[in-house]
Structure 1
């Protein structure tokens, strides 16, 4: 019978090499896990970004195909009395935005250009009192101010151009906080940029 050669005992280098190899393999497994997490995280971020771009793309397509070829606008002229806290009885001269019970009916979410010019008189008030001209949302129960101008002088000419973000289904009205006389008020409202929601 041939004798099997005796196995030589492992040297110190082999003993040192094994923990180093185990440590190296463990580090590689950890690195693989980290790389996998980074990959999954990056993929999730790209999917989220793509979803956002698709959402914005659909929104812009809806904007580029308007339901009406008209830009919502109105032009109003008013001369008459303003009763404290009561909406002025406005009526449209021209334009596509409807007016009901003195309130302008907003049909599109978006940024509107507001132009307002006229003379407001309140001579029956004491000299130290001022008057506020208010543009806001108003219904039978509540009112919310969107813009206001304080007038200190009697017979003051109001001349204003501003921009307001308005929402569909809001009713916009104009009123004063004291009794006054309004002369030659011209008021126009034009939609500059529709956002996402328009009523037909």
Structure 2
């Protein structure tokens, strides 16, 4: 009987030794499950963050850009009235961002400008023709940018052109004879991306 407790101890020890690898395996398996769960949670969080970034960028790029529209420099002028020989027309802006000073359009920066001019001109009885001149002034010198002769039987003026203008220039419209100007529209739009 004395040998029985030793045998029981041996069997218990043997079972304990068999349990340790099983318990170690169980602990390793549980640790692996935790690691897998953490990897899964991390991957889901990264995908959600990536999706949120893509949605933000999509919304940002699909919105109309107001800042780009604000950068476009343009002016639109309407004029009806009487012109006087040798005197610049007193233009005032109806819409736009370009400043007008003393009837002259102030050019804010260098670049290509789309210029559109339309009008009906009715000459006085004594006048047979009129010269309509778009003049540019740079500091102290002036130059003719565009000119059209208007005869008494042809009263329509129509111009669409592109001009390179310099910053700090001014644009004025002159007539060589007295006349009545009807529905004159003058538009200038900066079409190049120059910094002002």
| Number of residues of Structure 1 aligned to a counterpart in Structure 2 | 130
More helix as a share of residues:
2
CA-atom RMSD in angstroms: 2.4
Counting only pairs closer than 5 Å after superposition, residues 1-200 of structure 1 correspond to structure 2 as 69-126=70-127, 129-138=128-137, 143-154=142-153, 156-195=155-194, 198=196
Classify 1:96/1:122 alpha carbon distance in 2 versus 1 (closer, same or farther; 3 Å). Answer: same
Q: TM-score, normalized by length of structure 1?
A: 0.59
Superposed displacement of residue 178, structure 1: 1.2
Kindly indicate whether the alpha-carbon contact (under 8 Å) linking 2:121 and 2:156 is maintained by their aligned counterparts in 1: yes
Which sections of structure 1, spanning at least 5 residues, go unmatched? 1-65
Superposed displacement of residue 153, structure 1: 2.7
Superposed displacement of residue 130, structure 1: 1.9
Classify 1:87/1:168 alpha carbon distance in 2 versus 1 (closer, same or farther; 3 Å). Answer: same
Superposed displacement of residue 132, structure 1: 0.9
Kindly indicate whether the alpha-carbon contact (under 8 Å) linking 2:138 and 2:168 is maintained by their aligned counterparts in 1: no
Kindly indicate whether the alpha-carbon contact (under 8 Å) linking 1:81 and 1:179 is maintained by their aligned counterparts in 2: yes
Superposed displacement of residue 175, structure 1: 1.0
Q: TM-score, normalized by length of structure 2?
A: 0.60
Superposed displacement of residue 180, structure 1: 1.2
Classify 1:102/1:150 alpha carbon distance in 2 versus 1 (closer, same or farther; 3 Å). Answer: same
Classify 1:75/1:130 alpha carbon distance in 2 versus 1 (closer, same or farther; 3 Å). Answer: same
From the CA coordinates, give the structure whose radius of gyration is larger.
2
SS in 1 for 2:71: coil
Kindly indicate whether the alpha-carbon contact (under 8 Å) linking 1:104 and 1:171 is maintained by their aligned counterparts in 2: yes
Structure 2 partner of 1:31: none
Structure 2 partner of 1:23: none
| Superimposed CA distance per residue, residues 78-102 of structure 1 (whole angstroms, 9 cap, x where no aligned partner) | 0011111211000000000010110
SS in 1 for 2:110: strand
